[in-house]
Amino acid sequence: MDIAILLYVIIYIIVQIDLKADGISSDADLVWPFDDSDEESSSTLQQNEPVGQDQPPAIFILSVFLLLWKSLFKLPGSATVALLKFLKYFLEYCGNLFACPRLKQFALSIPSTLQTLEKLADVHRQTYKKFVMCQKCYCIYDWKEAYLENSIGVHRTQYCSYIAYPRHPHTRFREPCGTPLLREVILSRGKKEVRPFKQLCYNSLITSLTLFVQRQGILEQLNAWKSRTVEQGVLNDIYDGRIGKISKQ
């Protein structure tokens, strides 16, 4: 029992250190939704390698389960990344402990980022537009407006330019917000990049309605009210009330 607790503590510390090294915060608001394929240090998904059900069954099943588990319990991306790293370290430890090369190889094939996990499960859900959000005043910026790039290609954060009271008689109320929009992180390969403190994901109304009507059985559910039976004296819908009947007339 003591050994199990010690192992848990060691793996927890390693995962936390590795998360900080990859620039991943435990705060759900700091999860970066853009393509972070350069952060993936694992050899799980190389160019021209199969994805989805063309992958080994164990990896495909694990990827689908973790994404369903994340969606069902509404977990942030950082929690899923932490679980991935824990599984990788734990299974690799068990492979070394029991001298099982196949288990160790499976551990090495577990992805380290949420983007790679979605690719392995053949899930392509990022159809929304991403914006950078000021962490203080919640002003919205396009990604290209949130950073500066110098002559050698290094990105630096821009600062929020929103002025809450541009016509205020006092000068201090006419000053811009000035909050940095991006933070600097170090990726798993030592590369420095910038990531937003907060982000906003947006789908257009047309895209949202298109995805809505594409759900299986949704049109039948929308028209179900036409053929339903209403018992006398029982209110099953707002239109069964007296006001609803008057509005129909």
Please state the rounded mean pLDDT for residues 187-215: 84
Please state the rounded mean pLDDT for residues 7-12: 56
Q: Which H or E element spans position 196?
A: strand 192-196
Strand 147-149 relative to strand 182-186, pairing: unpaired
pLDDT score of 158: 94
For residue 143, how many other CB atoms are within 10 A of its CB? 15
pLDDT score of 58: 83
Q: What pairs with residue 195 in β-bridges?
A: 183
Please state the rounded mean pLDDT for residues 8-25: 50
Q: Is 50 exceeded by the pLDDT of residue 86?
A: yes
- Three-point CA angle 6, 10, 13, nearest 5°: 140
Averaged confidence pLDDT in the chain = 76
pTM of the model: 0.52
23: left (phi > 0), else alpha (psi -120 to 50), else beta?
left
Is the pLDDT higher at 53 or at 239? 239
Proportion of the chain above pLDDT 90, given as a percent: 17
List, for residues 162-200, the tens digit of each pLDDT value. Answer: 999 999 999 989 999 999 999 988 876 777 888 899 988
Q: Enter the DSSP assignment of 217.
A: T
pLDDT score of 146: 92
pLDDT score of 248: 55
Please state the rounded mean pLDDT for residues 92-97: 88
pLDDT score of 160: 96
For residue 87, give every residue at least 6 positions away whose Cβ sits within 8 Å of its Cβ, in sequence order, or none.
107, 110
pLDDT score of 33: 38
Is the pLDDT higher at 121 or at 2? 121
Q: Among all chains, which residue has been given the structure tokens 């068990």?
A: 94
pLDDT score of 159: 96
Range in 34-48, 66-80, 231-245 with the lowest mean pLDDT: 34-48
